[in-house]
Amino acid sequence: MRTNQPQTIYLEEYRVPQYLVEHVDLRFELFEDGARVHNTLTIQRNPAADGNPGPLELDGDSLRLESVALDGEQLPASRYEDEGSKLRVKDVPARFELTVVTWIEPQNNTRLEGLYKSSGMFCTQCEAEGFRCITYYPDRPDVMARFRTRVEADKAAYPVLLSNGNPVAQGELDDGRHFVTWEDPFPKPSYLFALVAGDLVEKKDRFTTCSGREIDLRMYVEPRNVHKCDFAMDALKRSMRWDEDVYGREYDLDIFMIVAVDDFNMGAMENKGLNIFNSSCVLASQDTATDATFQRIEAIVAHEYFHNWSGNRVTCRDWFQLSLKEGFTVFRDAQFSADMGSPTVKRIEDATLLRTAQFAEDAGPMAHPVRPASYMEISNFYTLTIYEKGAEVVRMIHNLLGETLFRKGSDLYFERHDGQAVTTDDFVRAMEDASGRDLSQFRLWYQQAGTPVLTVQDDYDQAEGIYRLTIRQAVPDTPGQTDKQPQHIPFALGLLGSEGQPLPLRLQSESPEAPQERVLELTRAEHCFEFHGLTERPVPSLLRGFSAPVRVHYPWTREQLLFLMSHDPDGFNRWDAGQRLAVDVIQSLLGAADDAEIEPRLVEAYRALLQDPSLDQALVAKMLQLPSEAYLIELSDSADPAAIHRSRDRVLAYLAENLRDDLMACYRRQTGTVDYELTPEAIAQRSLKSTALGWLLHIGDEPALELAKAQYAEADNMTDRLGALRALVNSDFQQARTEALASFYQRYSEDPQVVELWFSVQAGSDRAGQLPQVQQLLAHPAFDWKNPNKVRSVVGAFAGQNLAAFHNPDGSGYEFLAEQVCRLDDSNPQIASRLVAPLTRWKKFAPNYSTQMRTALERVRDKPALSRDVYEVVHKSLAG
């Protein structure tokens, strides 16, 4: 809670810490009515800090201080100041031991930061600044210390007691209590601290590292989830092997643990040796998890594991450097997922997320560079820009250096900075030093916010056989940043001849054996490239593989897009051509008469996709997804969500009507009695099946209704069952929808993760998720305001996916969201701050919408005792 305006923290005000902590000795006494934390720190003055060090300053939040002792002597109150958020100890020597005892109430901690309880177990979340909710500490990542942690609790209620590192002692205590002591030999920042105490089942496995060390792998889950661990455990082993093979990174402790908890603010946390996961991001079985969930779990398990090197062994100097670990680790997990499945599909998914949501963030009021220069609340900066754009920046370095030099750079980075807290600049320097390349202009990617816009023009000179490409770049203004410099952009391209054949890209003086694909390096506001020896006007395939996170404007004709859709050898660009064509068709219907003609060639293009089983089915499954409403909104200047929804629906209906037989045939081709597998081919089959069903049900096709009912009833996996349910829910077959929803709930009411799917399928649907129905979901007995997953699956799905209902022109959706944000602001500010995001984009919308969105935001702004989290987002959004 807060009464004053929160302060802004600036990167340029960074100073090295005055004091360093060598060792932390923690003792937790856990009880039902609270916990006592004994914290003994071995502290010394930082030799690198200049000037008089002044008093020792420790951070704290919501702590009750019981005592302070220096070198074993209790300190009188006159020796320290307890301001709540700061504990200042005066007149400390150059080296000393400080013992602080605090009392906290995990059972009342609804913010889920620090130590809290989730379904009866104790667990922690310390990143970014949660450790200060546990005890007084210099809670900043450049203070790295060795931790020893003793956990004491009732043995019957909490048989399992965990913390970071290796267990070194355990024993019985009076009153049925017991203890376990853990020691972590690796110095770490406090944000990587973790503790778990509960009645959990242990699943064990082993992994032999490349140097022959045996690692104990353990998962800890509630007994009801014991059958849902295998997939994550296997994913963990795959990740460990992959990081050895691809990055030469071996695991370092003797034990690696994963714990699943139901109440968690985000996906998972990479605490040293003790990763804690949101249940929905780790637990899975064929019957309860969809293909998308399995893939998400594999990616997140890998991501958290990879942090052991990119984040833990080498960590961030300060929170402005967050992308140092997050961008790099997202890049690493994306490479891993590409290696495990279909690289093209993975790239399409990442680019879709980036173009739909990160570009929107980069063009909105919270736009910030990959390395921000200031923040009020660091929790607000765990953004798509830090994570996804940050990963794209690393990918571009990879692209510019090539595989071998990139690996040399990462080896140098890990070796040079092992055990240190460093900056994104240190990362880039290691890449430069290993490769000999100059990345000084490239560094602007870290400093300038906003998505660069590339405007491409071309011209073919028949007489000379020269094709000219002019590429201009502009980086748009963002809050606090104008007049930006051109960035260093790797731009991959190819040229196609009229038969679809790839043409050589021969720059002036080159031989005819020029490459068929090039990565042009753009560094100026304008470049002109000439390709020689071309006997016909080529079709350009631009920004292949989405080689940079930029917008490309080029006056594609529909012919060109249709041509690229079927001929581009770059799978990503085939998909992209299809998306651009669909966007163009949908946009051309905005504001058009209800009976305006729809592009018939779109039908033929989709028919070709449906009819040709020799095509890569994983790619086809992606190509058959129409651009989302969110993406269409992102592309407009003054968006009218109702009109966008209508146009997109019209195109969908038109395609479904005209492709009815092909959809049926495609559906039937995919059904067979094969074992459930997670290969790209099998995933594509299931996706195609449910897409076909969804389209047919969208136009009220009766035979498809029977197929959907059968698929729902007979499915042997959640992907098919949920696919059928979703198709029914999004149809006008009201009775079938109601029956399927009731049956689904009855079948899975005991499984919280599946109930979350059930909530989100409804809240995200324009048919089943109009506001009164969403209100009913909030009143449902399975709904729980204290559980972030439930809040996300209803309120988040409504405002984030069900755009037609959320943007109801009467403003009711906005008012609803404002109300829920205010309600959550007191109990869980991090979640409240994430939920409010859709309202902050008010400027993007047509006046009727934007005025009402603004009013809703003002209502949030005026809530008394607004949290710092929501304050920052709302004020920045209203200021712009």
Residue 605 binds which entry of ligand B3K, Zn ion, none, CB below 5-8 Å type-dependent: none
Q: Which of residues 308-327 bind Zn ion (CB under 5 A)?
A: 326
The alpha carbon dihedral of 184, 186, 188, 192 has a sign of: negative
Residue 384 binds which entry of Zn ion, ligand B3K, none, CB below 5-8 Å type-dependent: none
Amino acid 594 reads: D
Residue nearest to ligand B3K (CB): 127
CB of 272 vs Zn ion, minimal distance in Å: 14
Cβ distance to ligand B3K smaller for residue 326 or 570: 326
Cβ distance to ligand B3K smaller for residue 127 or 361: 127
CB count, 10 Å around CB of 36? 16
CB of 341 vs ligand B3K, minimal distance in Å: 20
Q: What angle do CA 138, 143, 146 make, to 5 degrees?
A: 105
Amino acid 52 reads: N
Residue 388 binds which entry of Zn ion, ligand B3K, none, CB below 5-8 Å type-dependent: none
C-alpha 488/C-alpha 445 separation (Å) is 8
Are the beta carbons of 344 and 618 closer than 8 angstroms?
Answer: yes
CB of 296 vs ligand B3K, minimal distance in Å: 13
Q: Single out the catalytic residue among 29, 127, 298, 304.
A: 304
Reported for 165-168, long-range contacts at CB under 8 A and 24+ positions apart, including other chains, are 165/253, 165/272, 165/273, 166/253, 166/254, 166/255, 166/273, 167/255
CB count, 10 Å around CB of 403? 10
- The count of residues in the chain is 880
Half-sphere exposure of 386 (CA within 13 A, CB side): 18
Residue 127 binds which entry of ligand B3K, Zn ion, none, CB below 5-8 Å type-dependent: ligand B3K
Are the beta carbons of 186 and 252 closer than 8 angstroms?
Answer: yes
CB of 8 vs Zn ion, minimal distance in Å: 25
Cβ distance to ligand B3K smaller for residue 141 or 764: 141
Strand ranges of the sheet holding 145-154, from the earlier edge strand across to the other edge: 73-74, 64-70, 95-104, 34-45, 19-31, 145-154, 177-188, 166-172
- Widest distance between CA atoms in the chain: 95
Residue 129 binds which entry of Zn ion, ligand B3K, none, CB below 5-8 Å type-dependent: none
Residue 568 binds which entry of Zn ion, ligand B3K, none, CB below 5-8 Å type-dependent: none
Quick one: which segment of 64-72, 91-99, 261-269, 529-537 binds ligand B3K (CB under 6 A)?
261-269
Cβ distance to ligand B3K smaller for residue 191 or 842: 191
- Per CB under 6 A, the list member of 148, 303, 429, 686 interacting with ligand B3K is 303
CB of 124 vs ligand B3K, minimal distance in Å: 12
The residue among 139, 138, 110, 136 whose CA lies nearest residue 126 is 139
Residue 382 binds which entry of ligand B3K, Zn ion, none, CB below 5-8 Å type-dependent: ligand B3K
Report residue 8 CA to chain centroid gap: 25
CB of 276 vs Zn ion, minimal distance in Å: 13
Residue 371 binds which entry of ligand B3K, Zn ion, none, CB below 5-8 Å type-dependent: none
Residue 777 binds which entry of Zn ion, ligand B3K, none, CB below 5-8 Å type-dependent: none
Cβ distance to Zn ion smaller for residue 278 or 731: 278
CB of 294 vs ligand B3K, minimal distance in Å: 19
Contact call for residue 835 and ligand B3K (CB under 6 A): no
Secondary structure element (H or E) that encloses residue 332, with its range: helix 322-340
Q: Which of residues 104-123 bind Zn ion (CB under 5 A)?
A: none
Q: Parallel, antiparallel, or unpaired for β 255-261 and 214-221?
A: parallel
Cβ distance to ligand B3K smaller for residue 261 or 618: 261
Are the beta carbons of 820 and 835 closer than 8 angstroms?
Answer: yes
CB of 611 vs ligand B3K, minimal distance in Å: 43
Residue 269 binds which entry of Zn ion, ligand B3K, none, CB below 5-8 Å type-dependent: ligand B3K
Residue 266 binds which entry of ligand B3K, Zn ion, none, CB below 5-8 Å type-dependent: ligand B3K
- Per CB under 6 A, the list member of 59, 270, 362, 576 interacting with ligand B3K is 270
Quick one: which segment of 25-33, 265-273, 775-783, 799-807 binds ligand B3K (CB under 6 A)?
265-273
User: For the residues of 350-405, what is the DSSP string, one character each?
Assistant: HHHHIIIIIHHHHTSTT---SS-SEES-GGGG--HIIIIIHHHHHHHHHHHHHHHH
Q: How many residues bind ligand B3K (CB under 6 A)?
A: 12
- Residue whose structure tokens are 């399927």: 740
Angle between the 600-611 and 571-589 helix axes, to the nearest 10 degrees?
150
Cβ distance to ligand B3K smaller for residue 190 or 617: 190
- Per CB under 6 A, the list member of 304, 362, 634, 756 interacting with ligand B3K is 304
Q: Parallel, antiparallel, or unpaired for β 453-461 and 551-553?
A: parallel
Quick one: which segment of 209-217, 227-235, 267-275, 590-598 binds ligand B3K (CB under 6 A)?
267-275
CB of 783 vs ligand B3K, minimal distance in Å: 24
- Per CB under 6 A, the list member of 59, 142, 222, 326 interacting with ligand B3K is 326
DSSP 138: -
Q: Which of residues 377-396 bind ligand B3K (CB under 6 A)?
A: 379, 382
The residue among 350, 257, 326, 333 whose CA lies nearest residue 298 is 333
Amino acid 381 reads: F
Q: Parallel, antiparallel, or unpaired for β 177-188 and 255-261?
A: unpaired
Residue 375 binds which entry of ligand B3K, Zn ion, none, CB below 5-8 Å type-dependent: none
Q: Which of residues 135-194 bind Zn ion (CB under 5 A)?
A: none
Cβ distance to ligand B3K smaller for residue 25 or 326: 326
Quick one: which segment of 16-24, 46-54, 268-276, 777-785 binds ligand B3K (CB under 6 A)?
268-276
Site string for ligand B3K, 121-150 (x = CB under 6 A): ------xx----------------------
Q: Parallel, antiparallel, or unpaired for β 56-59 and 526-532?
A: unpaired
CB of 306 vs Zn ion, minimal distance in Å: 8
Q: Which of residues 327-386 bind ligand B3K (CB under 6 A)?
A: 379, 382
Residue 379 binds which entry of ligand B3K, Zn ion, none, CB below 5-8 Å type-dependent: ligand B3K
Residues 6+ apart with CB under 8 A from 117: 106, 107, 109, 123
Which of left, alpha, beta for 546 (phi over 0: left; psi -120 to 50: alpha)? Answer: left
Quick one: which segment of 232-240, 266-274, 450-458, 713-721 binds ligand B3K (CB under 6 A)?
266-274
Cβ distance to ligand B3K smaller for residue 326 or 599: 326
Q: Per residue, what are the HEC states of 480-540?
A: CECCCCCCCEEEEEEEECCCCCEECCEECCCCCCCCCCEEEEECCCEEEEEEECCCCCCEE
Contact call for residue 263 and ligand B3K (CB under 6 A): no
The percent helix, strand, coil of the chain (3-state, each to 5) is 45, 20, 35
The residue among 212, 227, 307, 214 whose CA lies nearest residue 267 is 307
Omega before 596 cis (within 30°)?
no
Cβ distance to ligand B3K smaller for residue 266 or 367: 266
Q: What angle do CA 640, 646, 649 make, to 5 degrees?
A: 135
Q: Which of residues 190-229 bind ligand B3K (CB under 6 A)?
A: none
Active site residue 57: no
End-to-end Cα, the chain, rounded Å? 25
CB of 193 vs ligand B3K, minimal distance in Å: 13
* Residues at the contact surface with Zn ion, assessed by CB under 5 A: 326, 329
Positions in the binding site for ligand B3K (CB under 6 A):
127-128, 266, 268-270, 303-304, 307, 326, 379, 382
Active site residues: 304
